[in-house]
């Protein structure tokens, strides 16, 4: 059975995850994380991707992006992945596949899900039991978004900027969102959409995504897959 083509639209935020092959480690030392983030910033700038949130775990990465071209995420991940694999193979005298293959992703409704998705990403080390608080983990965007630590990689989304009149107010409001863990149902919803390459949003949003791309954007009944389309026109005004 052929793999489903990714849902891609310009001007709709995208949550993506890329895992190490067979869920094996892809970061081995502090310098690996630093190189990856440096190159992520470089290629995000070259491809026109805006990174709102990220976390680098030992064997996978999460990102939340906005793009103005449907092709941009693929270009970013291809260039970044190839360069990072070259670094790992050269440094650790290894060969072969590092990543499991295609990254997984979901288009994300802004008003209802974008900040929840940022929390989902930055709480990953807490859910994994690595730290008790997201601010204790070095390789995520939490310290920048919540505590004002400088991170040239990040480009805040307008919804984040709307949290307060100035940086201190925005950070305080953002920290308030982390007083409680995400609802387990919401965590499962984000996971299903990302792993299945579906739209993450309400019925109106998913219907608009389906109409714009000419294919279903939610899980369907088993059977013969419908025709797939990689990209389409931007949509506006969804709720």
CATH number, domain of 195, equals: 3.30.70.1290
Sign of the CA dihedral with 70 first, then 61, 138, and 189 last: positive
Residue 166, domain member (yes or no):
no
Residue 23, domain member (yes or no):
yes
Domain containing 39: what range?
14-124+180-209
- In this predicted structure, what is the pLDDT of residue 235? 35
Residue 215, domain member (yes or no):
no
Alpha helices in 93-183 (DSSP H): 110-122, 124-127, 142-147, 158-161, 167-176
Domain count, the chain: 1
Residue 236, domain member (yes or no):
no
Residue 140, domain member (yes or no):
no
Residue 139, domain member (yes or no):
no
Question: 106 with 193: CB under 8 angstroms?
Answer: yes
- In this predicted structure, what is the pLDDT of residue 6? 64
Copy the structure tokens of residue 157. Answer: 């989304």
- In this predicted structure, what is the pLDDT of residue 7? 64
- pLDDT in 10s for each residue of the chain, 239 residues: 345 566 666 688 999 999 999 889 999 999 999 999 999 999 999 999 999 999 999 999 999 999 988 899 999 999 999 999 999 999 999 988 899 878 999 999 988 899 999 999 999 999 999 999 999 999 999 999 999 999 999 999 999 999 999 999 999 999 999 998 899 999 999 999 999 888 888 888 888 878 776 667 777 654 443 433 333 333 333 22
CA angle 153, 159, 164 (to 5 degrees): 95
- In this predicted structure, what is the pLDDT of residue 222? 42
Question: 51 with 153: CB under 8 angstroms?
Answer: yes
Residue 230, domain member (yes or no):
no
DSSP annotation string for 162-229: TT-SSHHHHHHHHHHTTSSPPPHHHHHHHHHHHHHT--BS-HHHHHHHHHHHTS--S---SSSPPP--
Copy the structure tokens of residue 56. Answer: 């680098």
Residue 184, domain member (yes or no):
yes
């Amino acid at each position: 059975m052929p793999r489903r083509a990714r849902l891609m639209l310009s001007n709709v935020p995208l949550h993506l995850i890329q895992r190490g092959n067979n869920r094996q480690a892809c970061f081995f030392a502090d310098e690996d994380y630093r190189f990856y983030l440096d190159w992520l910033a470089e290629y995000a700038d070259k491809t026109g991707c805006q990174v709102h949130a990220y976390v680098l775990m030992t064997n996978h990465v999460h990102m939340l992006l906005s793009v103005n071209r449907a092709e941009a995420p693929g270009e970013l991940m291809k260039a970044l992945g190839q360069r990072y694999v070259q670094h790992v193979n050269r440094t650790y005298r290894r060969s072969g596949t590092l990543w499991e293959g295609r990254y997984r992703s979901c288009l994300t409704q802004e008003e209802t899900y974008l900040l929840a998705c940022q929390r989902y990403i930055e709480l990953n080390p807490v859910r994994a039991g690595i730290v008790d608080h997201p601010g204790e983990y070095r390789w995520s965007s939490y310290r920048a978004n919540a505590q004002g630590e400088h991170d040239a990689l990040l480009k805040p989304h307008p919804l984040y900027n709307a949290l307060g009149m100035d940086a201190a107010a925005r950070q305080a409001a953002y920290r308030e969102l982390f007083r409680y863990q995400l609802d387990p149902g919401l965590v499962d919803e984000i996971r299903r959409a990302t792993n299945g390459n579906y739209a993450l949003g309400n019925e109106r949003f998913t219907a608009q995504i389906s109409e714009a791309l000419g294919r279903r954007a939610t899980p369907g009944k088993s059977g013969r897959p419908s025709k797939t389309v990689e990209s389409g026109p931007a949509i506006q005004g969804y709720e």
